[in-house]
Structures are given as structure tokens and as C-alpha cells.
Amino acid sequence: MRTLMNPTFCTEEQLKSLVEIINYSVENSPFYKDKLNSVDASFSIEDYKKLRFTSKEDLSAYNQKFCAVPKTKIAEYVTTSGTTGSPISLFLTKNDLQRLAKNEKDSLSMMGHNSDDLFQLLTTIDKQFMAGIAYFLGVQELNAGIIRLGPGAPKMQWEAILNYEPSVLIAVPSFIVTLIDYAKENNIDFENSSVQSIVCIGEPIRSDDLSYNILGKRITDNWNVKIFSTYASTEMGAAFSECTAQNGCHLNDDLLFLEVIKEDGNEALHGESGEIVVTTLGVEGTPLIRYKTGDIAKIYRDECSCGKQTPRLGPIIGRKNQMIKFKGTTLYPKAIFDALEEFEAISCYKVLVQKNELGNDEIIVLLEDKFKTHSELDTIKDRCREKLRVLPQFQFMEANKLRGLVYKKHMRKPEKIKFM
């Protein structure tokens, strides 16, 4: 049994896979050829911790140099948004697609799903996104069936649910709220539908203490379904997923090596938070060694009640480059979003962060005009003060103008925050 004193989870198998991927990268990846040396069988976890980190900036600046296979071996090109907003490409071989399939099969099985399930996919499968294709392949690997509907169109989603009777939905959780609202407005008997569980991607459904957050509550208060958290990124080509115990998202230790690193450079202990750093095991196209994801989460290192000993991650608290230093406290934008999203009256908002003349961050929350005289404004302010321990400035703007600032044509997601 592992002790909590030694925080790095590393099995013998993993150490072997680390040696393999490091040597593979030194040999095949033009980026790592210059940056790392090959290692031998004496390689230890202490040696690993001395290797340089790979940053998102590296991946963005030297994108093509990360490709470790000849062009003819690339089976798929996927993209993810870079630090400057321009997309970063990831190069996947046929084996990498198989690795994705294995990852999602393992994730779906861990949640208790099997080949008898029918899945409905409510996420984009084209536009070079990874998640949709990963789940599609994973469902095939599980020998289950899939209805590949894609995002949006609540009417069509319900028609398919009533017609084919899927047991599982794979979706962005905020869209599930839309689905519930649509069913209520149109007298669809959603409570007696075939859907039993929902695999939630892209947004957290739990708070820091692993209880449901507002979004999670909005779904489970209205619909008797099981909802599962996941955490994934295109770069790592693998996902952390909840098991049936729903007590944090498990590491798939066949596919990733995980470190969670605190501000002081040390590894986070059980229950502490830090930046998620991964090495992709078994990847051929775009291997990444000690890749700093920029995502901050808590790590849980005790044995899970499901029996698995792999560490688990809590929901993403924020992004490292979005840490705000505000009136002596440190906070992440998500805490502000959470406070505002508790109010159903707020359908659109934008947070601006700017430095004042003293070099401190100032936070401005932009709301629609109607809130200037809205009866809930004081309650909103109280809630922010309570949750953030400090009160941001509130400013008001004409509704359409505000929408234009949040929903920008060239962006994949609404721009809820801007660092000025």
C-alpha cells in the first residue's frame, strides 16, 4: 500500500513506459532531440523530476517540431486553441487513434457502462475537435452503439432520445440544462425517458469539495440521472474520469504519467492543489514530456472506495495564467463565474481584469443595463463578497453590446473574461 508521504504515483510499469517515451521522443521528435538526452534502465523517478518542463508556449512556438513521425504516418490532424488564440496542431497516428479509443472505453467502463448501452453523442465530431471522435471510437471499442447527433438542436435531440432510447448521453453539461428546459416547455416526459446517465465534458459539474456545483445541481435537481465528471485535453489525448464512487476523476495510468505541482515547485500532497503536469505514455505522433497543462486542480491520493489506487483529480479550479491577485487574495476567474451564474437573471456577463497604477489587479464585472436598477443587484454583490471575500466593481452596458463582447464569431467558446 502506498503511503501519503511519497506523493508521486509511479508503478514499475509506468517507469518502464517513461523510459520508452523519453527515448522514443529523443530519437523521433525534432523538438526533444535538442532538449533531452536518452536514458537507460537505471533511470529513476528522481531523474525524471530533473527533466525540463514542456510549456504550451513551446508547443505553440515550435508546433511542427513536435511531430515525431513522417507525414505519411499521420492519420489525423486535430487542433486545440493556443496561448495566443491561434490553433496548435496535434498529429495523431493510427495507433494514437487506437489509444484514444482505449482511453474512452476504459473511462466509460469505469463509470459502469458496457456493451448493452446505447450512447447519444451531443458534441461536435468535426472541425478538428478531438473529444467527439474520441468518444465515437471509445463506444465502438466498448462494442456498444452510438447515435451521432452533434451539438445543439434540442428538438432533434429529444426526437432521437424518444425514437432510439439511448441509455447514455455524452454532452457539455450546460446544454443538458437547455434540454431539460426544452422538455418542460414542450411537455416531453423526460423523467421517464430511457436516459440513465450523462457523461459530462468540457465544464465542471462539481465544486471544490466534490459536491455538485450550480450546474450539477440544476441537472440533478430536475432529472433523475447519474452525471459523471471528466477532465481531458487535446494535448494529453486521454481523459481523467469518475468511477462509480464519483469521488474525483481517476488517472488512467496506462496512458499518462501525472504530477500535480504547487507554486513552490513541490508536488501537491493529498487534498492540495497545483498545476497538472503530464507525460503522454505510448503516444507516437506528438509525444509530450512533463507538459504543463496550465490547469489547476486538487489531487486526492488515498485509495478510492472503488478499489483503484490511482490518484484522482478534483474539478479544475482555474488556469495558471489566469490567476488574479486582488486586494491581498488570490483567485481564479471561475470563482467569479460561479458566483454570478448562481443567479438565473444573469444570462450574460463579462469580467474584465486590469492592472491599476499600483500594479494590482482590478476586477470589473459587466452586466446588462437592466441590473442598474434590478432588485437582485444587492444580493448579487453580497454573494460575490461572500464567495470571493472581496467585492469587484460593477458596470452596466446595453444588452446587445454586451452579448457582442462575449459571443465573438471567431471564438469557439464565449469570452467570459478578458485580461486587459
Residues that bind Zn ion (CB under 5 A): 243, 245, 304, 306, 308
Which residue, 113 or 290, has its beta carbon nearer to Zn ion?
A: 113
Per-residue burial over 58-69, b if 16 or more Cβ lie within 10 Å, else e, is bbbeebebbbbb
Coil, strand, or helix at residue 124?
A: coil
Phi and psi angles of residue 338, each rounded to the nearest 5 degrees, phi first: -60, -45
Nearest CA to 377 among 361, 387, 365?
365
Minimum Å distance from CB 418 to Zn ion? Answer: 38
- Residue 24 and residue 303: Cα distance in Å, rounded? 32
CA distance 384 to 408: 26
User: Cβ closer to Zn ion: 93 or 229?
Assistant: 229
CB of 160 to Zn ion, least distance (A): 31
Enumerate the β-bridge partners of residue 365: 351, 394
Smallest distance, Å, CB 310 to Zn ion?
Answer: 8
CB of 309 to Zn ion, least distance (A): 9
Pairing of strands 238-242, 230-233: antiparallel
Q: Least separation, in Å, of the C-beta of 312 and Zn ion?
A: 7
Task: Give the nearer residue to Zn ion in terms of CB position, either 244 or 330.
Answer: 244
Residue 378 near residue 372 (C-beta atoms within 8 A) = no
Q: Judged by CB, which is closer to Zn ion: 245, or 335?
A: 245
Residue 113 C-beta: closest distance to Zn ion, Å:
15
Helix (H, G, I), strand (E, B) or coil at 188: coil
Specify the amino acid at residue 198.
I
What b/e readout covers 137-147, taking b as 16+ CB neighbours within 10 angstroms?
A: bbbebbebbbb
Contact 294, 275 (CB under 8 A): yes
Q: How many helices (H) and strands (E) does the chain have?
A: 12, 21
Task: Using the CB atoms, write b or e for 357-377: b if 16+ within 10 Å.
Answer: eeeebbbebbbbeebeebeeb
CB of 311 to Zn ion, least distance (A): 11
Nearer to Zn ion (CB atom), residue 21 or residue 243: 243
34 neighbors 25 (Cβ within 8 angstroms) = no
Question: 304 or 380: whose CB is closer to Zn ion?
Answer: 304
Give the nearest distance from C-beta 296 to Zn ion in angstroms.
22
Amino acid letter at 66?
Answer: F
Which stretches does DSSP call E strand in 4-94? Answer: 76-81, 87-92
Q: Tell me whether residue 172 or residue 243 sits nearer to Zn ion (CB atom).
A: 243
For Zn ion, the closer CB: 308 or 387: 308
- To the nearest whole angstrom, how small is the minimum distance from the Cβ of residue 247 to Zn ion? 6
Closer CB to Zn ion, residue 108 or residue 397? 108
**Helix or strand or coil: residue 400?**
helix
Angle at 246 between CA 243 and CA 251, to 5 degrees: 50
**Residue 274 forms beta bridges with which residues?**
297
In the complex, minimum distance from the CB of residue 243 to Zn ion, in angstroms, rounded to a whole number = 3
Choice between 125 and 245, CB closer to Zn ion: 245
